[in-house]
Structure 1
Amino acid sequence: MTAPSRGGPAEAAPAPASAKPGSRMFASLAVRNYRYFFFGQFISNSGTWMQFVAQDWLVFHLTGSTFAVGVTTALQFLPVLLLGLFGGVVADRYPKRRILLTTQGAMGLFAAALAVLTLTDVVVVAHVYVFAFLLGLMNVFANPAIQTFVPEMVGPERVANAVSLGAVNFQSARLLGPAAAGPLIVVIGSGWAFALNALSYVAVIASLLAVRASELRPATPQRREKGQIRAGLRHVREHPELIRPIVLVGFVCTFGFNFPTLLSGFAYNVFDGGAKEFGFLTTAVGLGALAGALMSARRRSSRTVVLVGTAAAFGALEAVTALAPSVWLFGALMVLVGLLSVTFSTTANSLVQLHTDPAMRGRVMGLYMLVYTGGTPIGGPVVGWAVQHYGARAGILACGLVAVAAAAIVGLIALRAPRAGAVAGG
C-alpha cells in the first residue's frame, strides 16, 4: 500500500468484492496501532462524557443557574473557535503522537486537579470555568492531531472505515459515560467522577506509548514558515471537493446539531415532562447515532452525493419531528435523526481527509474541526433564543430547514462542477 501522493486527492483501493460485510465493518481494527488507539480512546472518551455530566451538575449545584451551565459549555468550545486554525498548523509541524501524549497528559492532570478541589470541598464555580477553558484549549491541538493521526495509522484505503469506527467509539462512550455518571454522582459525588476521568487518561496514554512508529505512515513535518494558515485556507479555496463538505458541515452542525437545547425544549415545554423524558430523548439520539456509525463503517466509499443526500434527509426529518404529537413518536423519529446525523458527519470527514494533500492535512482538519465544533458557541445561543421566543417546535423546524437549504445549494453547485467528488474508502 502506498501513501497518498502530494498535490492531489488521495485515491484508495476499494475493499475486495469477496470481503465479508462484518470484516469490512471492523477492517481498521486489524491494524495493530489503530486497535490499541481505539480501545484507549474508548476508555478516555467514556471518562470525558462522565466528567461533562458531573461538571454540569456541579455548576448547577453551586449556582442554581442554567445560564452558568451554558457558560461552562461555551468556555469549552471557545478556544477551538478562536485558535482552531493554529492547532492545525501545529499538527502539520510536529509528530502527532507527541502532540497527543502532551495534550492527553495535561487533560488528565486538569481532571485530577478538579477532583481534588471538589473532594476537599473548596471548589467554586470559577474553578470549573477555568478548567473548562483549559480543556477546550487542549482540544485546539488534540482534535486536528487525532484526525490526522488516523490516516497515519491505517493508510488511505481504510480512512473512511476508521473515521466511522471513531464515530462508533465516540457514540458508545456517549451512551456509557453519562449512564455511569448519574448513579456515581448520586452515590459518591461529582469529585469521584472527575477522579475516574483523570484515571481514564492513563489508558489512552498507554495506547499511544504502545504504538509502533515503524508501522506508521507519517506525513513529512512542515517547517515553521510565515503564512502557513493562509496557505491552508488557500488550499481549501482551490479545491471545491474540500469547500463543499466544510461549508455544509458548518451550516448543518451549527444549527441542526443543537440537540441539548432542542431536546430539553421538547421534554420540558412541549411534552410537559422532566429529566426522565429528556434522558429518553437523549438516549434515542445516541442509539440512532451509534447505529449510523456502524452502518457507515460498512460503506466502501464516500461520495458527494451521499453527503448532500444525507444532509437533506437529516434536515427534512428534523423538520418533520416538529409535528410529532407524542414523546414516544418524537423519540422514535429522533433515532432516525441521530442515525442520519452520524452518516452525514462521517461522510464529510472521510471526504475531507481523502481529498487533502497530506502536507496540508493538519491545517485542513483544523479548519474542519473549527467549523464542526466551533459553531456551537454561535448556534447554541441562536437556537436557544428561537426556542425560548417561538417554541421548541418552531426551533427544530427552522434548524431542519436550514440543513435542507444548505444541502440544496451545495448539491446544485456540485452538479454544475465538472465532476462530483467520489472517493473510495476502507
Structure 2
Amino acid sequence: MAAAPENTKPQRDFSHAWRALRHRNFRLFFGGQSISLIGTWMTRIATSWLVYRLTHSALLLGTVSFMGQIPTFLLAPLAGVLVDRMERRTVLVWTQILAMLQSLALAVLTLTHRITIHEVLWLSAFQGVINAFDMPGRQSFMVQMVEDRANLSNAIAINSSMVNLARLIGPSLAGLVIAATSEGWCFLVDGVSYIAVIASLLMMQIKPLATARSVAPMAVQLREGWEYVSTFVPVRTILTLFALVSIMGMPFVVLMPVFAAQVLRGGPHTLGFLMGAVGIGALVSALSLVLRKSVRGLLKMIPIAASLFGAGLVCFGLSHWLWLSMALMVIVGFGMMQGMTASNTIIQTLVPEDKRGRVMSYYTVAFVGMAPFGSLLAGWMAHHLGAPRTVIMTGSCVLAGSAWFATRLKAMRREMRPVYEELGIVKPRTAQA
C-alpha cells in the first residue's frame, strides 16, 4: 500500500489573515498610515499632558476634548453628503494637508513657549472640523482600496491592527519624549509624519465607482441618510450602543493624566505606560479579528466586547496599583477595539454603496461626535466626585448598554439575513433545506 502523502496532514493556513494586502492601493495606505498614526497618537498624549501641565484641571481636560470633537458632531452628517458627492481620495488628501498644518502650528507655539490654553482650544476645534470630513471619507474610501468586497472586513481588521500598533508605540514614545524634552517635539514629529500618508494617497491608482454620483439636493440626501440609519434596525441598534459607549466609556482617556499623576503618583511616563497597555489590548483584539475568514458571528461579539470594556473600567476605577491598572487597561483596550471594529465591519458590510458616505458619517457622529459631551461630563464628574468614582459610574453604564443590546440580537439577525444572503455570506434558507 502506498504511503499517504505528507501534505494530507491538516495544517493551519493563516494566509487569509492578510488577504487585503494583496491590493496595491491598500498596501500603500497601510504603509503611509502606519507612519502617520504613530505621530497622531504622540500628539494625543502630548496634548493631554500639555493641558494638564498648564492648568492642572480635570475640567479643562474635558473642555479641550469637547472642543476637539464637537465640530464632528455638528458637521459630520453634512460631510457625509459631500463625501458621497465628491472624489473620496481628494477629500482625504486635503484633510491630511490641513491636519499636518494644525500639528505644525502646535509644534511652533509650544517650542517657542508661546502656547496657552486658548491656542490649544482653538487648534483642537480646527482638528475637529478636519476630522468631521476625514473619518467618513476614510471609512468610505476603504471599499475602493480593496476593490473585492469579500476582503473588506479583513481590510477593516488590518486597519484596526495598524491603528492599535500605533496606539502601542505612540503613547509610550510620547511619554519618553515629553520626559526628555517637551510636548512640542511630539507635535513636530506628528506634523512631519503626515507626508507619508499624503504621498501614499497620491500614488494610488483608483478606479471610478460603479454607482453614479447623486445630483439630488443636499437636503434630500441628508434626509435619505437619516431615514436609512433610523429605520434599519441593525444599523440603528449598533449606532445606539456605540453612541452610549462613546459618551460614557470613551472619555476615560481624558482622565488618564489625572490617574497617572494623582491616583498612581507617576508622571508622563506613567501616562505612556497606561495608554500603551490600552494599545496592547486593542492590538490583540484587532489581530483576533484579522484571523477571521468571514463577518459571520461578529454580531454576538459586540455585547461581549461592551461587557469587557465596562467591567474593565469599573475595576480600573478601584485600582491604586500601577501593575493592576495596566492589566485592566489591556482588558479595556481589548473590549473597546473588539466592539468598535465589529460594529464598523458589520455596518460597512450592510450599507449600500450609494449611501456609504452618509451612513459612515453617522458612525462618525456616534463614535466621535458623542464623545465631546462625554468628555465634558467626565471632566465635570471628576471635578466634583474624583476620577476613580467617575470611571466606575461610566463603566457601569456601558455594562447596562451591553445587556440591552443582547436583548436585540434576534431582531437584528432577522433583518440582516436577507443582505447577507444577497452578498453570499450565508446560504439562502431554501438552499439549506
Residue 260 of structure 1 and its aligned partner are, at CA, apart by 2.3
Q: Which residue of 1 aligns with 2:212?
A: 220
In the superposition, the TM-score normalised over structure 1's length comes to: 0.86
Say which SS state the counterpart of residue 401 (structure 1) adopts.
helix
Q: Which residue of 1 aligns with 2:45?
A: 53
Q: Which residue of 2 aligns with 1:15?
A: none
Aligned CA distance change for structure 1 residues 276 and 49 (closer, same or farther; 3 Å): closer
Query: Structure 1: how far apart are the matches of 2:117 and 2:317?
Result: 36
Larger radius of gyration: 2
Deviates more, 1:21-30 or 1:77-86: 21-30
* Native 8 Å contact 1:50 1:197 kept in 2: yes
Query: Structure 1: how far apart are the matches of 2:203 and 2:12?
Result: 29
Residue 276 of structure 1 and its aligned partner are, at CA, apart by 4.8
Q: Which residue of 2 aligns with 1:354?
A: 349
* Native 8 Å contact 1:265 1:387 kept in 2: no
Aligned CA distance change for structure 1 residues 106 and 267 (closer, same or farther; 3 Å): closer
Q: Which residue of 2 aligns with 1:233?
A: 226
- Note if 1:137 corresponds to 2:132: no
Deviations 1:110-131 (A, max 9, x none): 3333434444454444333322
Aligned CA distance change for structure 1 residues 239 and 73 (closer, same or farther; 3 Å): same
Q: Gaps spanning 5+ residues in structure 1: where? A: 1-17
- Note if 1:86 corresponds to 2:78: yes
In the superposition, the TM-score normalised over structure 2's length comes to: 0.84
* Native 8 Å contact 2:252 2:391 kept in 1: no
Aligned CA distance change for structure 1 residues 404 and 420 (closer, same or farther; 3 Å): farther
- Note if 1:311 corresponds to 2:303: no
* Native 8 Å contact 2:60 2:379 kept in 1: no
Deviations 1:186-213 (A, max 9, x none): 5554444333222211111110011112
Query: Structure 2: how far apart are the matches of 1:103 and 1:381?
Result: 26
Aligned CA distance change for structure 1 residues 336 and 229 (closer, same or farther; 3 Å): same
Percent of aligned pairs with the same residue?
Answer: 33
What code does the residue aligned with 1:147 have?
Q
Query: Structure 2: how far apart are the matches of 1:268 and 1:123?
Result: 22
Q: Which residue of 1 aligns with 2:240?
A: 247
Deviations 1:59-105 (A, max 9, x none): 45555655444433222111101111111111111011010111111
* Native 8 Å contact 2:303 2:406 kept in 1: yes
Q: Which residue of 1 aligns with 2:277?
A: 284
Say which SS state the counterpart of residue 227 (structure 1) adopts.
helix
Q: Which residue of 2 aligns with 1:3?
A: none
Query: Structure 2: how far apart are the matches of 1:269 and 1:61?
Result: 13
Deviations 1:29-65 (A, max 9, x none): 1211001011111211112222233334444555565
Superposed counterparts of 1:16-415, under 5 Å: 22-60=14-52, 62=54, 65=57, 67-154=59-146, 155-214=148-207, 217=209, 219-225=211-217, 226-261=219-254, 263-264=256-257, 266-271=259-264, 273=266, 275-302=268-295, 303-322=298-317, 324=319, 326-415=321-410
* Native 8 Å contact 1:93 1:224 kept in 2: no
Q: Which residue of 2 aligns with 1:9?
A: none
CA RMSD of aligned residues (A): 2.8
What code does the residue aligned with 2:326 have?
G
Say which SS state the counterpart of residue 356 (structure 2) adopts.
helix
Query: Structure 1: how far apart are the matches of 2:46 and 2:338?
Result: 29
Q: Gaps spanning 5+ residues in structure 2: where? A: 1-9, 427-433
Deviates more, 1:262-271 or 1:219-228: 262-271
Residue 298 of structure 1 and its aligned partner are, at CA, apart by 1.1
Aligned CA distance change for structure 1 residues 43 and 67 (closer, same or farther; 3 Å): same
Say which SS state the counterpart of residue 101 (structure 2) adopts.
helix
Residue 312 of structure 1 and its aligned partner are, at CA, apart by 2.9
Say which SS state the counterpart of residue 300 (structure 2) adopts.
helix
Say which SS state the counterpart of residue 48 (structure 1) adopts.
helix
Aligned CA distance change for structure 1 residues 217 and 282 (closer, same or farther; 3 Å): same
Q: Which residue of 1 aligns with 2:6?
A: none
